């Protein structure tokens, strides 16, 4: 192979790559724009919202401070617990199931995968009456555990399926070779299979974390004490029937979103690294 | 047949495709039980309740004990199918979902290819933008877009010079704005998944296509897509399911479904019927109908997969 340089830059004429880069920038800016608005509105005094200026004439940082003093920090902790707990639950439960179904042909294999998929057909909003009654029986209403269980359960199907797809894409021969080379069953699993499936694991992880972080409808019904509510529900109180506290809402939204973006930024590199390092060549 | 548990992998080298072995009979349980232990209680009882309530006259009066709970068979369904509003909401749910799926997939796939072709900085910025959109809670994302399109305060009206134009008054204009918000939220998953998949395709394959003179368009449809079929399958199923049961964006942006529920979809309609009007029985019936529709869609898709010879 004479061409060891990255394929795209070599394969494309100069103009084309400029167009691609340019459109990538434009699209990215459009998609980032709501964030700009969110940030600007968060620090723009509420009474100057009607001024037809693009940039605030005055900045008011107090809204960001009020987030912490107003008790929303506790809701942020709840959100963190729910997101981390559900992600852990999903990975612990989905990994063995996905691995086994990708490697073994057993009688209920297809049936199992179907059943898992079918759980995706149900939406928590339609099942809220049953969910509420069930958790009430176990004294879990208005607790973090209820939210962890619901978010974990409703995101399990996606994790099982995506992990199954990734495990299936790893050639069995690789595992066999590693096994013959003297790696034990677990050595093969942890040194060969899991690293190769890492992009899938990370995708499942990000997906579950974000879904649990952002969940709204179930938490709205299952948590009644303000201190036990995740951030999405707590922020909802800024939207009044006749008036919206845009400044407070967006200040809270900014703070709610920053940790996730940082997490994403850290993980995104891992995804790409995992792919380039462990790609099947 | 003297398979020993110690040498399952070595034994498999000879058999191209292993069959279910007697030895492995107890093992599925061990791997699948944790998943079952989460799913069965979490879905079993609520689904049972959903079906049960849908055949009962169960409203506020019954919840408070003022009236006895009465079995009415398919009465709730009869009420529902005789209601013109139900049919119009069903239709707009389907149209809206199909439009969302198509646009989300087109945007996500295009940007995934752009990502593989773009240089370092545009790629970084585009990833950042996608992550930011993905990370935004549906609730806060909806409020930002609502604010952007606000009749009096919104930047869109300011830029376009449309003073006081209400984007949420006309049904389909409102659906357009909500749709843009949903796509903004949902394209990153498609983009990231397909991008990860494209990256995992060995360079030699893409190289060969390039050497054979395939255009970008051809190599996407003829090479990338077929190789990524399992991933694409998942992404399509996910998009259909999510876009069909869209809730938060509509609920927040149109204040619970819009004027006379004009922007409602089945999910919001079910919620409003059950919790807005305390018609729990009727709301459950809508939930059942919606679930059945999703089941049918999925079955069609799975059958199509089998026909193309895809291994589940």
CATH architecture of B75-307: Orthogonal Bundle (1.10)
User: B279 - beta bridge partners?
Assistant: B59
**Are A77 and A127 contained in the same domain?**
yes
Domain ranges of chain B: 75-307
**Are A35 and A79 contained in the same domain?**
no
**DSSP reduced 3-state for B166:** coil
- Which domain covers residue A135, as residue numbers? 70-275
- Reply yes or no on whether the pLDDT at A279 is more than 70: no
**Are A153 and A218 contained in the same domain?**
yes
**Are A221 and A262 contained in the same domain?**
yes
Domain tally, chain A: 2
**Are A172 and A142 contained in the same domain?**
yes
**pLDDT for A155-174, tens place per residue?**
998 899 888 888 888 888 88
ipTM exceeding 0.85, yes/no? no
- Reply yes or no on whether the pLDDT at A272 is more than 60: no
**DSSP reduced 3-state for B26:** coil
Answer yes or no: is A65 within a domain: no
Q: How far apart are CA B76 and CA B58, in angstroms?
A: 10
Q: Find chain B residues with C-beta within 8 A of A204's C-beta.
A: none
Is there a contact between A212 and A151 (Cβ–Cβ < 8 Å)?
Answer: yes
Tell whether the torsion through CA atoms of B255, B261, B264 and B268 is positive or negative.
positive
**Are A107 and A241 contained in the same domain?**
yes
Q: Find chain A residues with C-beta within 8 A of B155's C-beta.
A: 37, 54
> Where among A18, A37, A60 does a domain terminate?
A60
- Tell me the CATH number at A258: 1.10.3720.10
For the ranges A3-12, A147-156, A216-225, which has the lowest average pLDDT?
A3-12
Answer yes or no: is A281 within a domain: no
**Are A140 and A36 contained in the same domain?**
no
Is there a contact between A217 and A191 (Cβ–Cβ < 8 Å)?
Answer: no
Among B37, B137, B138, select the one facing A256 at the smallest CB separation.
Answer: B137
This prediction has a pTM of 0.77
Q: How far apart are CA B104 and CA B113, in angstroms?
A: 14
Beta-carbon separation of A127 and B46 below 8 A: yes
Answer yes or no: is A164 within a domain: yes
What is the per-residue pLDDT for A50?
Answer: 66
What are the mean pLDDT values of chain B's consecutive 10-residue runs (312 residues total)? 35 41 59 89 90 86 78 87 92 93 92 85 86 80 88 82 84 92 90 83 80 80 81 79 86 81 87 84 90 81 60 47
Beta-carbon separation of A104 and B158 below 8 A: no
For the ranges A28-37, A45-54, B116-125, which has the lowest average pLDDT?
A45-54
**pLDDT for A62-114, tens place per residue?**
767 777 777 788 898 999 999 999 999 999 999 999 988 888 888 788 888 88
% of chain A beyond a pLDDT of 90: 15
Q: What is the DSSP letter of B221?
A: I
**Are A156 and A43 contained in the same domain?**
no
pLDDT band for position A274 (50/70/90)?
very low
Backbone angles phi, psi at B163, to 5 degrees: -75, 120
Q: Find chain B residues with C-beta within 8 A of A21's C-beta.
A: 118-119, 121-122
**Are A47 and A110 contained in the same domain?**
no
Is there a contact between A204 and A194 (Cβ–Cβ < 8 Å)?
Answer: no
User: B149 - beta bridge partners?
Assistant: none
**Are A117 and A186 contained in the same domain?**
yes
């Amino acid at each position: 192979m004479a061409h060891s340089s990255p394929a795209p830059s070599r394969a494309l004429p100069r103009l084309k790559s400029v167009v691609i880069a340019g459109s990538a920038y434009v699209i990215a800016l459009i998609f980032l724009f709501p964030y700009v608005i969110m940030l600007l509105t968060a620090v723009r005094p509420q009474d100057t919202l009607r001024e037809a200026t693009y940039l605030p004439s005055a900045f008011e940082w107090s809204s960001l401070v009020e987030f912490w003093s107003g008790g929303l920090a506790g809701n942020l902790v709840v959100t963190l617990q729910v997101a981390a707990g559900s992600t852990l639950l999903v990975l612990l439960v989905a990994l063995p199931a996905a691995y086994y179904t990708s490697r073994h042909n057993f009688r209920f294999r297809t049936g199992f995968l179907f059943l898992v998929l079918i759980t995706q057909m149900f939406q928590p909003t339609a099942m809220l009456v049953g969910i509420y009654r069930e958790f009430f029986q176990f004294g879990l209403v208005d607790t973090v555990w209820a939210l962890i269980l619901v978010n974990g359960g409703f995101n399990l199907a996606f994790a099982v399926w995506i992990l199954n797809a990734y495990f299936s894409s790893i050639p069995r021969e690789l595992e066999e070779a590693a096994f013959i080379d003297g790696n034990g069953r677990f050595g093969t699993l942890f040194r060969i299979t899991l690293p190769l499936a890492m992009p899938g694991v990370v995708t499942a992880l990000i997906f579950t974390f974000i879904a649990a972080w952002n969940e709204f409808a179930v938490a709205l019904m299952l948590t009644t004490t303000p201190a036990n509510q995740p951030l999405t529900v707590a922020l909802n109180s800024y939207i009044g029937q006749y008036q919206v506290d845009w400044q407070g809402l967006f200040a809270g939204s900014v703070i709610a979103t920053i940790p996730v973006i940082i997490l994403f930024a850290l993980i995104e590199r891992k995804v790409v690294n995992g792919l380039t390092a462990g790609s099947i060549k | 047949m003297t398979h020993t548990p110690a040498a399952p992998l070595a034994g498999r080298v000879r058999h191209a495709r292993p069959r279910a072995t007697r030895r492995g009979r107890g093992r599925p349980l061990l791997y699948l039980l944790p998943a079952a232990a989460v799913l069965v209680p979490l879905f079993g009882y609520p689904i049972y309740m959903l079906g049960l309530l849908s055949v009962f006259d169960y409203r506020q009066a019954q919840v408070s004990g003022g009236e006895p709970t009465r079995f009415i068979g398919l009465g709730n369904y009869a009420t529902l199918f005789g209601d013109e509003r139900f049919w119009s909401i069903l239709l707009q749910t389907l149209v809206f979902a199909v439009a969302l799926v198509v646009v989300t997939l087109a945007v996500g796939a295009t940007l995934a290819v752009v990502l593989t072709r773009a240089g370092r900085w545009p790629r970084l910025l585009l990833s950042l933008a996608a992550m930011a959109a993905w990370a935004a809670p549906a609730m806060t994302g909806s409020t930002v877009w609502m604010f952007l399109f606000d009749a009096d305060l919104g930047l869109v009206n300011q830029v376009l010079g449309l003073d006081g134009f209400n984007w949420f008054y006309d049904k389909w204009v409102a659906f357009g704005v909500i749709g843009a918000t949903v796509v903004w939220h949902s394209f990153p998953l498609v983009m990231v998944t397909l991008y990860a998949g494209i990256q995992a395709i060995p360079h030699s394959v893409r190289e060969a296509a390039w050497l054979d003179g395939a255009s970008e368009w051809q190599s996407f449809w003829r090479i990338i897509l077929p190789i990524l079929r399992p991933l694409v399958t998942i992404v399509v199923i996910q998009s259909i399911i999510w876009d069909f049961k869209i809730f938060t964006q509509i609920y927040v942006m149109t204040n619970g479904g819009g004027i006379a529920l004009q922007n409602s979809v089945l999910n919001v309609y079910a919620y409003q019927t059950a919790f807005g009007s305390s018609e729990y029985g009727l709301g459950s019936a809508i939930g059942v109908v919606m679930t059945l529709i999703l089941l049918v869609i999925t079955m069609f898709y799975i059958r199509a997969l089998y026909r193309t010879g895809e291994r589940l």
